[in-house]
Structure 1
Amino acid sequence: MRELRILWGQRLRRDRWQLVIWVLGIGALALFSATAIQETFGDESSRAEILQLAIATPAILMLRGLARGASLGAFTFFQIYAFLALLASLMSTFLAVRHTRADEESGSAELVAATPAGRLTPAVATILHGTSVNVLVALSVFAGYTAAGLDPAGAIVAGAAVGTVGLAFLGVGLLVAQLMGTSRGANGFASALVVLAYILRGIGDATGTPSADGTVMTAGTASWFSPIGWGQQTFAFTGDRWWPLLLPLALAAACGAVAWLLLRRRDSGASVWGARPGRMAARPSLNSPTALALRLQAGSIIGWGIGGLAMGILAGSLGSAIAAADLSNSNITAALRAMIQSQGVSLTQLLISAMFSIAGVLAAACGLQAVIRLRQEEAAGTAELLLAAPISRLHWLASYLLLGTASVLLVMFLAGFGTWASLAGAGDTSVEARAVWETAVAQLPAALLYLAVPAVVFVLWPAATITVGWALLGAGVVMGIFGGMIGLDQSLRDLSPFTHTPVPNGTTTDWSGAWWMLATAVLAAAVAVIGMRRRETGTA
């Protein structure tokens, strides 16, 4: 028991800052969302019209959730539960992989196994650690909902739904860590399973059976294959059913049991799916740092690019539906203008700008990951091996900055292409093709800032690169994109680059914000390159 307490405490200490961000962030998102919904859609008739629009437009249900009535609690659960469950699931898989496969990869698990703790006690500590964190997430969601004035009975069910889905994917993460040979592969595979669960839930919600009044949806079959869909079946704030939570708990137990059996039977550092033998010599296409960086990040770039394309298609396909809904409900326009502060543009253009702001976040995250990959290569010691070749540190950094810039451009190009193609296919001429591409271009300066500024952090304070990078992006999203919806003061919103993204409006578009953000990004990149000449590489 002493060894277990020590290992559990070590995990809590090691993850303390990440867990504070995850737990408080999820709870704050629940609070802000419930508060914003009360302010924007305060009367039940407005919420009923939104639900009728959502049920008539399956793409909205794909993004949101299962409509279960127009009461304030049910509407809030419909709007935000699926995203909260998605965050809890990603948090749990990352935690599971970090304390299992990643520790084996770094060699620390073998050192612990040489102590009286053995090989199995660390796994128990990880399970306890992940379970306690998901309990905190559930309590955080409960506190956020109750602080917003929602029914405490429904709030505790909603919090439990988010927490148990997180537990299910904790078990999935533990199992995947036994299957994959690297932490990168395990994180990628586990994240793909989380996204698959979100998509299956969306398909089930979109293909369900609506009620006669168009405000209640019975989920389709696909939702029952998704742990996130299981959490929805609690019907928080309307039915408050507890029995669906047995399904994610059973999945967590089953995956944990299989992972335990595999751990007992395999060697430390081995995996069920062994790595394929590598080539004796690299291909000629890998003879530069940029080509190597692309090879290492191709999977994540493709993933972010697909997300940008999907967001663009969704923006184009929703334009006509939202424009029609505005004739009867001006609250939709108010919600969009809370995200995108611009007057004198068509509702379709306003929607596209709002959706493209989300695509801009995807592009910024894609660029940020290039810098994070720099730090990961340095911390793992592989950067020193690369720099032992005739490659300068400046060339190494510049190759990742170049790749990050190209990936940002790719994500926004795919978003623009998706919107243009969906508008053209639907015959919607309310927005010109030129305006669509200008809206995509307008997102680039803010996204490039999240490539260049973290690069400066990487040069000046390497150990903080990952934490500061994601913290800056998260703060920018909350203040700039959702700040208006949750009532943040304008002075705080102005701190976010996303607030200053231009909204194309013909010849009257103000591009000044884009120019100074682009200039700041270029300056930050130059500072990073110059600073890299004087910085030593290392694992600390």
Structure 2
Amino acid sequence: MKTLPTLLLARFRRDRVQIIVWLALFALLEVAGRGAVTETYGDDAERASVIRLVIMSPAILMLRGTPQGTDPDAFQFFLLFGFLGLMVGLMMTFLAVRHTRGDEEAGRAELVGSTPAGRIAPLLATALEGVILSALVGAIMGGVAFAYGADASGALLYGAALSAVGIAYLGVGLACAQLMRTSRGANGLAAAIVTLGYAFRAMGDATGTVQPDGLSMEAGWWSWLSPIGWGQAVAPYTHQRLWPLALCVALGAVLFAASAWLQSHRDLDSSIVPERAGRLHAPLSLSGPIGLVWRTLRNPVIGWTVGGALFGLVLGAVGQTVVDLVNTPDGQEAGQAITDTLAAIAGPNAEGGLIDLFTTGLFGFVGVLAAVGGVQAIMRARQDEAGGTAELVLAAPVSRFRWFSAYLLIGAASVAAVLAFAVLGAFVGLIGSPDVGERMSTVAEAGLAQLPACLVIVAVAALVFALVPRASIALGWAVLLVAIVLGQFGGLFGFPEWVRDISPFTHTPIVTAETIDWSAAWVMSGIAVVVAAGATALVRRRDLALGG
């Protein structure tokens, strides 16, 4: 095991940029969330009104979690923990796959395995890195909470809950890397499991039981199928349960042990789930780079599109429900707070009725889904370049312009598809609502308004790939995350306007205005075209950057 510290340091060195970005993002969300709770949701009475309204709406519970009273710390935990659990889960699974199945694909695992390190030490080094990073995330979140005045034991348990969720999903990522033949398949399976865990948590929260005080809930049994639900059950500022932490750690330990056993018993570069045999002859669609890129990206594109359609369906179906709840005697107290929150999410100077603010504000999150799908296409270009498959394609009569343009085209098409199907889903959800024709028009305009901002983000990710290819995956996702935090949450978190202006999402047209100003959309569309063209020109002139 003398090689273990060396392997661990090598992993931290490879991941240093991603680690800094992720940790900074978690810290930013915690700091911003603290300000949002006190500034947006006011005092205990106002938070109590919001909680009573939320408890009456299962759809909102699915998006947020189960409330645990009006204490500011508990209220923030209710608002953010589900989203933070999803983030740390994806972070850990991607890290686990990168250093296991990804290294096998790149040939690094074979080289390391030929040294005294053997086959288990690299797996142990990956697990240790994941545990350390999970602990760092928890320490940062708990430390910020404590610095803002949270109870010491509550802040400690809050950080421990997030760390434990990370450890559980680290085990999931290690196991998926053993099951699947490729890193793409392993990442896809792991991301699906993390998303499923979030969905189970959402179902459990929506079917939870209201407690006698009327201001807190116990999640339903669905939540006990999810590590995110286990972390949420810790309730660090109220019940302060310790045993759900043991469930997360035990799951991570069991999956690590299973992964170590499989690693030591299977052949290198083999998998438990075999790859499906390919066709004897390639279809005509694979005769060009566009068809090839579509073939490699069609599953994630379809996944994001289905996600957009489902989100749109829920958005259309629950919009009127929220309005009806606010108009009840219990909801009128919280009405202004909810209206202010939705206006902050919808964008600077947003105006209009509650239903319009709800539609345009939450359609911003559809824009996030669309941008993720588009950026993923650009990141696939980097993976193909690093893995050597791009070199094989470019050895054929395929120019670099055609090769890279295919990724840009599929990325843009992915963005458009997610937004279009979200609009169609919202149309279905609006059936039976009053003034359905007018609301359908607002939904269509809200979807269209997100398109230019998403295309700008895809183009900037492409430019990053062209300029700094080796760091493009970390920086590309960082560009997206910064755009999301500043554009979608900047108003809610009270960021200065000049800071919010950095994000393209801040400049999406306000479709609830009496006269819609589309000039910013046209400017962003032009910027996207110019930046994408510049990125393509730069890719044509630089050397291929092989390797990770």
Whether TM-score is above 0.5 comes out as yes
Paired with 1:343 and 1:281, the residues of 2 have a C-alpha distance of 55
1:341 and 1:355, CA in 2 relative to 1: closer, same or farther beyond 3 A? same
Determine whether 1:468 maps to 2:475.
yes
TM-score by length of 1: 0.96
Match of 1:484 in 2: 491
Match of 1:338 in 2: 344
1:311 and 1:111, CA in 2 relative to 1: closer, same or farther beyond 3 A? same
Paired with 1:283 and 1:150, the residues of 2 have a C-alpha distance of 61
Matched position secondary structure for 1:279: coil
Q: After TM superposition, give the deviation of residue 213 of structure 1 in Å.
A: 4.8
- Aligned AA for 1:48? A
Q: After TM superposition, give the deviation of residue 126 of structure 1 in Å.
A: 1.4
Q: What do residues 291-327 of structure 1 show as CA deviations (whole Å, max 9, x unaligned)? A: 1111100111112112212221232223223324264
* Match 2:523 to one of 507, 516, 520: 516
Matched position secondary structure for 2:115: coil
Matched position secondary structure for 1:443: helix
Match of 2:301 in 1: 301
State which drifts further: 303-312 or 184-193. 303-312
Match of 2:177 in 1: 177
Matched position secondary structure for 1:316: helix
Map 1:2-401 to 2 at 5 A: 2-324=2-324, 325=326, 327-329=332-334, 330-339=336-345, 340-401=347-408
Matched position secondary structure for 1:282: coil
- Aligned AA for 1:66? T
- Count how many residue pairs are aligned between Structure 1 and Structure 2: 540
Q: After TM superposition, give the deviation of residue 386 of structure 1 in Å.
A: 1.1
TM-score by length of 2: 0.95
Contact 1:101/1:182 (CA < 8 Å) preserved in 2? yes
1:457 and 1:343, CA in 2 relative to 1: closer, same or farther beyond 3 A? closer
- Aligned AA for 2:333? S
Identity of aligned residues (%): 46
Determine whether 1:420 maps to 2:427.
yes
Determine whether 1:497 maps to 2:504.
yes
- Aligned AA for 2:232? Q
Contact 1:227/1:248 (CA < 8 Å) preserved in 2? yes
Q: What do residues 78-126 of structure 1 show as CA deviations (whole Å, max 9, x unaligned)? A: 1111111111111111111111111111111111111111111111111
- Aligned AA for 1:227? P
Match of 2:463 in 1: 456
Paired with 2:92 and 2:354, the residues of 1 have a C-alpha distance of 39
Paired with 1:134 and 1:3, the residues of 2 have a C-alpha distance of 23
Contact 1:348/1:430 (CA < 8 Å) preserved in 2? no
Matched position secondary structure for 1:278: coil
1:53 and 1:317, CA in 2 relative to 1: closer, same or farther beyond 3 A? farther
Q: After TM superposition, give the deviation of residue 458 of structure 1 in Å.
A: 2.2
- Aligned AA for 1:443? Q
Paired with 1:207 and 1:51, the residues of 2 have a C-alpha distance of 16
Aligned-residue Cα RMSD (Å) equals: 1.7
Matched position secondary structure for 1:2: coil
Paired with 1:532 and 1:75, the residues of 2 have a C-alpha distance of 48
Contact 1:320/1:428 (CA < 8 Å) preserved in 2? no
State which drifts further: 438-447 or 361-370. 361-370
- Aligned AA for 2:528? A
Q: After TM superposition, give the deviation of residue 338 of structure 1 in Å.
A: 1.7
Paired with 1:467 and 1:257, the residues of 2 have a C-alpha distance of 29
Paired with 1:538 and 1:6, the residues of 2 have a C-alpha distance of 25
Contact 2:352/2:513 (CA < 8 Å) preserved in 1? no
Paired with 1:317 and 1:386, the residues of 2 have a C-alpha distance of 46
Matched position secondary structure for 1:199: helix
Structure 1 unmatched ranges of 5 or more:
none
Paired with 2:543 and 2:134, the residues of 1 have a C-alpha distance of 39
Contact 1:368/1:451 (CA < 8 Å) preserved in 2? yes
Paired with 1:98 and 1:176, the residues of 2 have a C-alpha distance of 11
Contact 2:350/2:357 (CA < 8 Å) preserved in 1? no
Q: Which runs of 4+ in 1 moved over 6 A?
A: none
- Aligned AA for 2:371? A
Contact 2:470/2:545 (CA < 8 Å) preserved in 1? no
Contact 2:97/2:186 (CA < 8 Å) preserved in 1? yes
Paired with 2:66 and 2:40, the residues of 1 have a C-alpha distance of 20
State which drifts further: 348-357 or 209-218. 209-218
- Aligned AA for 1:328? E
Contact 2:385/2:391 (CA < 8 Å) preserved in 1? yes
- Aligned AA for 1:435? T
State which drifts further: 300-309 or 423-432. 423-432
Paired with 2:488 and 2:261, the residues of 1 have a C-alpha distance of 46
Contact 1:405/1:451 (CA < 8 Å) preserved in 2? yes
Paired with 1:349 and 1:179, the residues of 2 have a C-alpha distance of 46
